[in-house]
Structure 1
Amino acid sequence: MTEKPLILVTNDDGINAPGIRALIEVMNTLGTVYVVAPDSPQSGMGHAITLDSMLFAEKLNISDDVPQTEFSCSGTPADCVKIAIRQLLPRKPDLCVSGINHGSNSSINVIYSGTMSAAIEAGIEGIPSIGFSLLDYSWNANFEGAKPFVKAIAEQVLEHGLPDGVVLNTNIPNKPEETIKGIKICRQAKANWVEKFDKRKNPQGKEYYWLTGEFVNLDNGKDTDEWALENDYVSVVPVHFDLTAHHLISEMNTWDFKSIKTKS
């Protein structure tokens, strides 16, 4: 009998978030599931890792009716993947899925996202990986409409794999399943946050700053994740973590560095 795929599930909203519960439910239909997720919310942590404090991973006592094995980790999303692969899983997983995030991780948000950083960390280890996000920031978001798309995309990755160095950033409209038009393979839109800091005072009179701002889409293309989401499609962006600007290397090699004295 063929061994079931081993699937690592993680997130950045914390192990008790409704989004990861929905993701676990779907992954249990596809393989053997291990969950290693933060013990508290870690949104916006990016690819931070724990270097100067102890890291704890506690196995949870789950009901016999629940098929997955779960660990609550004191670290960041990237920590969760690292410790899962090195210490907690019986072997290297066949797939890593992260999410389902409460809120969008489209366009520039991929840089800040703990959800996507967990997927990228697994990708660095050569594991096919997907980050899933729902465009609803509410803790009580309804993930039912997202589940069929999560399953379909995960099935395709299990069947086809992904190239080395590539992970998928998947965002799902906050819509009923029947109103979502389909899945679009997209590029990341050129968009960013226009930010400001509100200067305030606490009850003791000490000044502090509160980050605010608005999201601005600067891209009119119809092949972007922002366009897809605005038009009721699930967006899937293949993301690679090689940050080299390869197109600039040949030009920079023509620059004159002769004035710099170097040892022969």
Structure 2
Amino acid sequence: MTKHRPSILITNDDGITAPGIKVLIELMGELGDIVVVAPDSPQSGMGHAVTIAKPLRLDKVDVYDGVEMYQCSGTPVDCVKLAVNKVLHKKPDLLVSGINHGFNSSINVIYSGTMSAAMEGAIEGIPSVGFSLGDFKQDADFSATRPFVSAIAKEVLANGLPLGTLLNVNFPVGHKIKGLKVCRQAIAKWSEEFDERVDPHGRPYFWLTGKFLLNDKGEDTDEYALNEGYASVVPVHFDFTSYNAIPTLKNWNFNL
């Protein structure tokens, strides 16, 4: 009797030719039947944006031999929606997004296209994982992440995830990762600044800059784990309800 090979959807926000997605293609191909649907150009920082004001293009491409791949003109979330509805015509057994160039730990999960693609998978009821490495360089070395990516994917395939929950996995830079820690999301924020410049036509323009402010000294956070040389795994859910605020709000006087 032939053993069932799970179906695995691969996507990202760095674009279909990014080095990080190649690692996922290689590793997931060992675990199941893969399909890749990814943006045709970088879409970092797009969050959970969807395309509604212009048509979407979806083209089959031949980037890696023997791999079914499609490039999409839209956002990472668009890629997941099109993959489920127009490519697979079903929900895959696993969705993996990444491996992103740069951390998506703590507050960065809000802005991340990588994590929003995984979030869309979770919304669809698909066990989903977003992977990120804290190295923005195009020639980033992903070799140390490989055994962890495989191990996490195998566990998710074997056990599933709670409904509405996905995993945010981040890897520190370096040739040796000490291990893996299940963590909570650190409390942090960006202090934004805008660098104002003038173009050759005399019109002002702005570059977003800023500093990352970590306001959390806890030793159970993703930021702490990463700073100590561990990979961090944070279970994330898309229910944004602040349940502890409900009793307070119920005592307010909303009489108009």
Per the normalisation by structure 1, the TM-score is 0.94
Show the 5 A alignment for 1:175-214.
Answer: 175-176=174-175, 179-214=176-211
User: Identity percentage over the alignment?
Assistant: 57
Cα offset, 1:61, TM superposition: 3.0
Question: What residue is the counterpart of 1:140 in the other structure?
Answer: 139
Post-superposition offset of 1:79: 0.2
How far the C-alpha of 1:195 sits from its partner, in A, is 1.0
- Relative to 1, partners in 2 of residues 1:62 and 1:212: Cα closer, same or farther, differing over 3 Å? closer
Give the Å deviation of 1:180.
1.3
Does 2:52 match 1:51?
yes
- Is residue 228–residue 235 contact of structure 1 (8 Å, CA) maintained in 2? yes
Quick one: which amino acid aligns to residue 169 of structure 2? T
Q: Unpaired runs of 5+ in structure 2? A: none
1:102 aligns with 101
Name the aligned partner's letter for residue 88 of structure 1: V
Aligned to 2:43: 42
One-letter amino acid of the counterpart of residue 238, structure 1: P
8 Å contact 2:13–2:100 — kept in the other structure? yes
The alignment partner of 1:145 has SS state of helix
| RMSD (Å), alpha carbons | 1.0
User: What stretches of structure 1 move > 3 A for 4+ residues in a row?
Assistant: none
2:144 maps to 1:128: no
Query: For structure 1, which segment, 202-211 or 41-50, has the greater mean C-alpha deviation from structure 2 after superposition?
Result: 202-211
Aligned AA (2:254): F
Give the aligned residue type for 2:200.
P
Gap runs ≥5 in structure 1: none
Question: Which structure's CA Rg is the greater one?
Answer: 1
Is contact 1:33-1:67 (8 Å) kept? no
Question: Matched residues in 1 for 2:213 and 2:27: separation?
Answer: 33
Q: Following the alignment from structure 1 to structure 2, what is the Cα–Cα distance between the partners of residues 167 and 51?
A: 26
Q: Shift of the alpha carbon at 1:181?
A: 1.1
- Amino acid of the residue matched to residue 166 of structure 1? T
**Matched residue, 2:85:** 86
**Aligned partners of 1:166, 1:25: CA distance in 2, in Å?**
25
Q: How far apart are residue 125 of structure 1 and its match? A: 0.3
Q: Note the C-alpha offset of 1:62.
A: 5.2
2:17, 2:63 within 8 Å by CA — same for their partners in 1?
A: no
Q: Give the match's secondary structure for 2:91.
A: coil
Aligned-residue offset at 1:202 = 1.0
* Cα deviation digits, residues 207-254 of structure 1 (max 9, x gap): 111111111111000000000000000000000000111111122111
Structure 1 Cα separation of the partners of residues 66 and 219 of structure 2 = 42
Q: How many residues align?
A: 255
The SS at the match of 1:80 is helix
Matched, 1:26 2:23: no
Name the residue aligned to 1:10.
11
User: Residues of 2 paired with 1:208 and 1:52: CA distance?
Assistant: 25
Deviation at 1:84, TM superposition (A): 0.3
